[in-house]
Chains A and B, each alone.
Chain A
């Protein structure tokens, strides 16, 4: 009985596209289903598993974060947990009163007053009338809209609306609480009150299940995280353990996105430039040890080798290398004409090397774009953006991800030290 809830081999099937909503379509489907006895085991046309064989159990008082990309199955799991939907297969056991901080204003009726809605919404969330009577003043105080409590809520601003909704939901006193991205309601002072309420709940030993894309929130609240991908549990462990795996999935998705973009553009590029006097035949990526790779650690140096073949003699070409983050931000740029106007001409095959040194870029996926320009007209002879570099943050999580980590040095001087001698501490961080 230590478990608050248990998922045992849960499967959930959904349908794509429109369901038949009229009798004309339903009658043939009904007979088809009647003949097919094991219909629920098999995927029919247009059906898919939104949740596949998910099992986990959550102990009493645990605070668990559920992570995953959009469409990974988080919301379905939450709906199964809150008994709004039922699994196609498997067993869910829940011990204790469950309440969800999801869509806190769903039960509101615009024509009713604030007071009437507090009672209605409280009852919908499973409170008894006496309980609401007892907590009514607390709820109204918390929402901070006491003077409008007898006004129909359709006259409320949207902020007042959701504040009242949150206040009711926050006073349900559940044993298990489901939270889904609702902690960003109202102004700063109300958010502070929400945060305080959240801390109270954490201390009170309530089991909390949090679904959020806010990794900082998950990291600060949850000891345990469950990573869901394509309807399956990919990882289940401590938050510190699971976060890098989440990071992995996010980066993988971005990489796929860039690959798709490259395929799109390279197809067009070939047609446009038939008579290219120069071609980039290859781009190699190396670290400081000369090892060819495209996954770098924070603190690695980045070296490039660009192979070209010039059919004609080209006077004073300009080589340019850009490193572009997945979202399109150009993070680094190096051009041959900026600091050292070398390269009088190129002809035939050759190789040009570029040493970026330690870039200290934030963890993520980057595209390497190499361009050869004509010096006078700045017309690009050839552009190649096929290479992808990945930087891993190592021990640093991607919770707060900067564009780059500069070599930094901290110095602390205690002005009134506890002991007589002056303490001076220096922390250095140059990622070497």
Chain B
């Protein structure tokens, strides 16, 4: 097993305690001196869900139909991975630049910084995910066997997020422009990703929506929750390849530019 892993990855595993400590640090400092504490983890998803409900209501009104209340469940299932992705990227982009004193002074595999930034956001995601069973009970959403796909789909989101986070954190270290581009893309990205609507409702443009790996993953989630169907196997494989590829790409580029970090930060 050890021989199969590249040296860089083994070193990160060697420093896994540091990864854990940095994740703990990121979680702790976010909720220190805050009265609401961990409840803040729910805040952003809840606001996003209300925005989604508003949009759904408007769309139903235009179509002259009543709003399907069960759609709220499916939408929540899609909003949570999206907010995880968005806040992880926002956080990871700053993870190297924000720890410049560590990077210029102490040696450790730098990848643990973006990795723990993403991990801390994943912790928030897990807290927020606690509302999912509650929603299922309230709206009596039918639970089916295909729910077993969900952990795998979340894993894909995590891999994709890690890859993008690694890549962008390194890019932002060299060029601070990256931070601004990312901020703009994340702000409007939710409209270009099928979070509040189904890709199919866009007709043939739905395919374009699915080309975005996050889009095809969210569509797969939607298929399981709203239609009680297994995810489309073609798009699922596409998403799997993209996520793994993104992770490897991000890791490769991060590792390639790592030696130049200290003097370019």
Contacts and interface: CB of A to CB of B under 8 A. Distances in A.
Contact of A129 (B17, B108, B262): B17
Interface stretch (A100-108, A135-143, A267-275): A100-108
Contacts of B29: 109, 111-112
Interface in A84-100: 84-86, 98, 100
Interface residues of A, number: 32
Contact of A124 (B18, B176, B262): B18
B10 interface: no
Nearest to A19: B264
Nearest to A13: B263
A70 interface: no
Contacts of A21: 174-176
Contact of A111 (B15, B33, B101, B259): B33
B107 interface: yes
A106 B176 contact: no
Nearest to A102: B105
User: Interface SS of chain A: helix, strand, loop or mixed?
Assistant: loop
A23 interface: yes
Contact of B108 (A23, A79, A85, A126): A126
Interface in B105-160: 105-108
B25 A112 contact: yes
A124 B102 contact: yes
A106 B106 CA distance: 8
A253 interface: no
Contacts of A126: 15, 18, 108
A128 interface: yes
B177 A107 contact: no
Interface string A250-276: 000000000000000000000000000
A431 interface: no
B21 A123 contact: yes
A91 B21 CA distance: 32
B49 interface: no
Contact of A125 (B20, B33, B106): B106
Contacts of A86: 259-260
User: In this complex, which of A21, A111, A124 has the most chain B Cβ atoms within 10 angstroms of its Cβ?
Assistant: A124
B32 interface: yes
A155 to B, nearest CB: 12
A177 to B, nearest CB: 14
Interface in B68-120: 101-108
Interface in A145-164: 152
A14 interface: yes
Contacts of B15: 123, 126
Nearest to A25: B175
A83 B33 contact: no
Which of A22, A107, A129 is packed against the most chain B CB atoms within 10 Å?
A107
A100 B177 contact: no
Nearest to A85: B262
Nearest to A84: B262
A125 B18 CA distance: 9
A125 B24 CA distance: 16
Contacts of B108: 124, 126
Interface in B232-262: 259-260, 262
A107 B28 contact: no
B176 A22 contact: yes
A79 B265 CA distance: 15
A125 B104 CA distance: 13
Given A23-B177, A123-B18, A106 B102 contact: yes
B195 interface: no
A82 interface: yes
Contact of A119 (B21, B103, B263, B264): B21
Interface in A221-259: none
Given A120-B21, A123-B21, A84 B175 contact: no
Contacts of A103: 101, 105-106
B22 interface: yes
A109 B101 CA distance: 11
A85 B175 contact: no
Interface in B163-186: 174-177
B263 A123 contact: no
Best-buried of B15, B105, B174 by chain A (most CB within 10 Å): B105
A116 B25 contact: yes
Given A23-B177, A126-B15, A128-B17, A85 B263 contact: yes
A83 B22 CA distance: 20
A82 B17 contact: no
A119 B24 CA distance: 10
A217 interface: no
A412 B25 CA distance: 63
Contacts of A354: none
Interface in A64-87: 79, 82-86
A106 B105 contact: yes
A305 interface: no
For the complex of A and B, 10 pairs with smallest distance between CB atoms: A86-B259, A123-B21, A123-B18, A106-B105, A83-B107, A129-B17, A103-B105, A84-B262, A111-B29, A120-B21
Given A14-B263, A123-B20, 13 more contacts: A19-B264, A22-B175, A22-B177, A23-B175, A82-B107, A84-B106, A102-B105, A103-B106, A112-B32, A120-B22, A126-B108, A129-B17, A152-B32
Interface of B: 15, 17-18, 20-22, 24-25, 28-29, 32-33, 101-108, 174-177, 259-260, 262-264
25 contacts: A21-B176, A22-B177, A82-B107, A84-B103, A100-B106, A102-B105, A103-B101, A103-B106, A107-B102, A111-B33, A112-B32, A116-B25, A116-B28, A119-B21, A120-B22, A120-B24, A123-B21, A123-B22, A124-B18, A124-B21, A124-B102, A124-B108, A126-B18, A126-B108, A129-B17
